[in-house]
Amino acid sequence: MQDKFEKLFYTFRPEENDWGPWTNSPQAFLHGEADLADAALYTGFQIINAPVQMETEPIYHREAEDLVFLGAVLPDVFSSFDAEIHFFMGRTLETMEKIVITEPTVVRVPKGWWHCPLRFVRVDKPLLFQAVLFAGRPGAVRKVQGPAGPELRYSEAETHRRACAEIPGPPRSGPWRVVNEDGVRSYTDAGAYDPAKAPSSLDTVIRPGYRSRAYSDAAALRSPKPPLTPETERCVLALPREETKWGAWCPSPQAYFRGDIYMEDADYNVGWQIFTAANDMEEPHFHQGADEYIFFMGADPKNIFDFDAEIEIFIGDDPDHMESRMITEPTVVRLPPTVWHCPIRFRRMKKPLLFQAAFLHGTWGTITRADAAPGTDKGYFDLTYTYSYMGDNVRFCRRDPTKRCNVCGACFPNVEIREDAPEQ
């Protein structure tokens, strides 16, 4: 494979830690551009086993960040969620708000917004936590005491390498104010989460006259959650429980975050799919305007390096000049705009795997190529090919034209693929 394509691949290294039983070791992280040339994504796969506090004082980033809280048993991140998290966020230090999380949730932290502490106050089942920073290098701004008084100081640091302070323990107080603090330490009882109350995909779609289920209550609350201002509430989304119909090779329910369909101004499209058997995915295409990162990981987040499969992915300058690359270990592939890729062939699936396609744009879409039809008016150009766009913003359900297509698989042909079948 050409160097320009080979450098788009990163094979994860197990990162051991001695933080204690509240998390697992080893862990997997993508350290932005330190691991992958020109990457603008810094993220990891962390397990939270017990109450813990991350960051004791508010910080902000120069870039946006998404925080993802899921149950640690995939694909059913809903039934496996049994925890309560308190997170603080606000445009200024004087307008911080307390966000209570009791179900699978995505929180968007706009660039420049102050956020943290992040407190996992009850963890009755392990959680999968992903902090997704849209930057090649991690850095944060803190308010510190300087020689002439309080000052803002920026520092670059691999924050996930620092051990965290276990709860209970008195949190440090800083020069910041929570405008909706109500003094409640816990809002739920153990085992109170009810997946039947999770929002469905239609509950979450943003459309005129229909309010998103941003701050949901799929838990038996012994005390009402503190209300959020509209500005903050639009950054918090309870993930919908999506029942898909792909078949046994891609079990249901599944969790997706569908960008600006689910959250206004979102710049992130991502899913958490489990594949259990051989399949072929997609035709050659490229994306316009944003990078895509495709993760191939072990299906158990608690042991993400438990990987036993062979995947072949095709990448090239155009559909006539594609090169293939085999993947046999936990790997991420960065696909810049206009780089052609696919199909992806999943073979020798000895163990299930986690497939995560992360697109750094609010609207997911693909561009494909076809030969120009005979007699096509070429005008001033030599029209050899036609290019077609298909995306979330223009694709609607075949069975219900009023509904956006969420690629549930109901109308796709069920094609069984033998792992030993010859390639076409």
* Domain parsing of the chain, residue ranges: 3-359
Distance CA 81, CA 93 (A): 31
Cβ pair 189, 222 in contact under 8 A: yes
3-state class of 298 per DSSP? strand
Q: Where are the alpha helices (DSSP H) in 119-241?
A: 201-204, 230-233
* Cis before 195 (ω within 30): no
Q: In the chain, which residues have pLDDT < 50? A: 158-173, 424
The structure tokens 């995909």 sit at: 201
Identity of residue 214 = A
pLDDT number for residue 290: 95
Distances (CA, A) of 40 to 8, 26, 65, 68, 244: 12, 24, 12, 18, 31
Cβ pair 386, 411 in contact under 8 A: no
pLDDT number for residue 161: 44
Cα 133 → chain centroid: 11
User: Residues with Cβ < 8 Å from 277, sequence gap 6 or more?
Assistant: 248, 249, 346, 349, 417
Report pTM.
Answer: 0.91
pLDDT number for residue 217: 87
Closest by Cα among 226, 221, 216 to 97: 226
Tokens of 250: 């891609």
Closest by Cα among 177, 163, 162, 160 to 58: 177
pLDDT number for residue 377: 63
